[in-house]
Amino acid sequence: MNLPRISYAQADPGDATVIDKVRRGVLEHLIRPKEFPRIFHAEYGHPVGYQFSWGQILELPTAVPNPATERYEGLTWSLFTTLPWAALRGHLQSLNRPLSHLLRSLMDDSANGIADYVPPWILCDGGRAFEAVRFITLSTQDSIRARSWLADVFLPNQLFSAIQAYQAELHLALECSFGMWWRLSHACSNDEQ
């Protein structure tokens, strides 16, 4: 399969302003990305976070407490990288396959390449269908450190490499899940021609 690849050239200069909002924790209400089915988006209530050209980062309080203080003081950042989804839209339409099926077939693998960029003290959860990755901290101190890392290291320097790694997982899932079906359907259409 010859699939489109995301490149650094697709980075929007306007994203620098949003990175500054991440640094300062200036949240905005987020609108559901059109690729994201309404039923799943509802799980997030009224999400707040940051809107980038490549997707969204949701920012939420971590749902479990810091064991050292027994207070719920951590933060969780969920990355919805819609740019690779959009790049696959035409291909999925030609296969008559919805994006949600592809994302579910990623299983727990969506963050496999992204985790290489994430320091070990940030928990890196890849097990949710629509999120490329979820960065989790438990303590106030780690939340502050993680926000700095996001704004000063990850988003300006590593994001597109991470998105490319996510895209590679998507392509692998596409090949594994739909590859056989795709090859068979193309073989049939070639026979008909």
Partner 1 sequence: MHAAMMNSKPFSYERLLGARYGRLATPAVFIDNLRQHGRTAIDPLPMGDDCWPRSKRTLFDEFSDAHGFQFDWGCVIVSYPPWYFDGELDHRFACRIVPTALWERLQARDQLTLPIPVALSQVRSRVLRVLHPRDTGSIMWDPPGLCYDLFIPWVDGREYSHELFRWLGSALLPDLLPPTLSYLEALVLDLALRAEVGLGEASERGHHE
What residues line the site for partner 1 (CB under 8 A)?
63-67, 70, 108-109, 111-112, 114-116, 120-127, 133, 136, 138
Q: How far is the CB of 111 from partner 1 (least distance, A)?
A: 4
50 vs 58: CA distance, rounded Å: 7
Q: How far is the CB of 110 from partner 1 (least distance, A)?
A: 8
Query: If DSSP codes are grouped into helix, strand and coil, which group holds residue 81?
Result: strand
Q: How far is the CB of 173 from partner 1 (least distance, A)?
A: 15
75: nearest Cα among 155, 146, 154, 130: 146
Q: How far is the CB of 58 from partner 1 (least distance, A)?
A: 17
Task: CB nearer to partner 1: give 30 or 162.
Answer: 162
Q: How far is the CB of 134 from partner 1 (least distance, A)?
A: 9
Task: CB nearer to partner 1: give 11 or 111.
Answer: 111
Q: How far is the CB of 74 from partner 1 (least distance, A)?
A: 8
Task: CB nearer to partner 1: give 76 or 82.
Answer: 76
Task: CB nearer to partner 1: give 115 or 168.
Answer: 115
In 73-172, the DSSP E strands lie at: 75-81, 123-125, 133-136
181 vs 69: CA distance, rounded Å: 52
75 vs 145: CA distance, rounded Å: 11
Query: If DSSP codes are grouped into helix, strand and coil, which group holds residue 125?
Result: strand
87: nearest Cα among 160, 14, 184: 160
CA distances from 94 to 4, 85, 97 (A): 14, 14, 8
Task: CB nearer to partner 1: give 32 or 128.
Answer: 128
Task: CB nearer to partner 1: give 107 or 180.
Answer: 107
50 vs 47: CA distance, rounded Å: 10
Assess contact for 58 and 48: CB atoms under 8 A. Answer: yes
